[in-house]
Amino acid sequence: MSEPLADQVKTLLAAPRPWSVTQVGEAVLRRPAERYDGQLPDDLLALLLDAMREHLPGVGVGIAAPQLGIPLALAVIDDPAQVSPEVAAARERAPRAPLDLINPVVTPVGEERVAFYEGCLSVRGLTAVVSRSRRVVLTASDRTGAGYSQELTGWAARIAQHETDHLNGVLYLDRAELRSLSTTAAYEEHWAAPTPALAAAALGF
């Protein structure tokens, strides 16, 4: 019998920080997460979401519960967008306040798509170009159970799509242009331009 979810969360919260994020190859990353329906006491849910946010500075801009071994439809986003003005403009990336995503659904707005390099805390050491919808509507609930809906554009829309994918058992590699696949070191040496145009010309995608 598997450990009750509340006990899994308590074990995670008691683990040394920073957490070791679950890596590709583990089944929890490939199963649709269980819809959140009050499986955790409210105070434990809040502790988990706060701890997930606290994990992000310096390592990422979003994380989903399955990446921590917790198979619930929960994620957080927190993007300070500490990038150059040129990168911010090309990628439509602006600082965002922390956001809780509980049972999120992302719906594309229009047909426009944009392609940029992405990475993932669960695919350590690699990055690849992914085409995603430029604009989406994010519908979710917050930690109090209140529903909300936001229209997101650019990088914020990309993060929401990436994290919602995690809750559906999908990794960015499933959507990636494989000829763009690079180690993080190679990307930073050769392809860390505001857009992937140079990489596309050189790598043939």
Cα 1 vs. chain centroid, distance in angstroms? 30
Mean pLDDT across the stretch 50-61? 96
Percent of the chain with pLDDT over 90: 99
pLDDT at 17 over 80: yes
Let me know: does 75 contact 164? Beta carbons within 8 Å: yes
Does 166 appear as a known binding residue?
yes
Sorting pLDDT into bands at 50, 70 and 90, what band is 3?
confident
Does 162 appear as a known binding residue?
yes
Overall domain count for the chain? 1
Residue 180 backbone phi and psi in degrees, to 5:
-85, -10
Q: What is the per-residue DSSP string for the chain?
A: -PPPHHHHHHHHHHS-SS--PPPTT-GGGTSPPBPPSS-S-HHHHHHHHHHHHHH-TTT-SEEEGGGGT--BSEEEE-----S-HHHHHHHT------EEEEEEEEEE-SS-EEEEEE--TTSTTEEEEEEEESEEEEEEE-TTS-EEEEEEETHHHHHHHHHHHHHTT--GGGGEEEEEEEEHHHIIIII-SSSSHHHHHHHT-
Mean pLDDT across the stretch 2-22? 93
- Domain extent, residue 165, equals 5-203
Sorting pLDDT into bands at 50, 70 and 90, what band is 2?
low
Q: In the prediction, which pLDDT does 1 show?
A: 41
Structure pTM? 0.96
Residue of 151, 163, 177, 189 marked catalytic: 163
Mean pLDDT across the stretch 60-65? 97
pLDDT digits (tens, 9 = 90+) for 156-200: 999 999 999 999 999 999 999 999 999 999 999 999 999 999 999
pLDDT digits (tens, 9 = 90+) for 115-151: 999 999 999 999 999 999 999 999 999 999 999 999 9
Q: In the prediction, which pLDDT does 13 show?
A: 98
Q: Active site includes 118?
A: no
Rounded to whole angstroms, the Cα distance separating 70 from 167 reads: 11
For residue 13, the domain's CATH number is 3.90.45.10
Q: In the prediction, which pLDDT does 84 show?
A: 96
**Which residues are CB-neighbours of 115 under 8 A, at least 6 positions away?**
129, 130, 131, 132, 177, 196
pLDDT at 32 over 80: yes
Mean pLDDT across the stretch 35-49? 97
Rounded to whole angstroms, the Cα distance separating 83 from 85 reads: 7
Does 55 appear as a known binding residue?
no
Mean pLDDT across the stretch 35-58? 97
Let me know: does 71 contact 40? Beta carbons within 8 Å: no
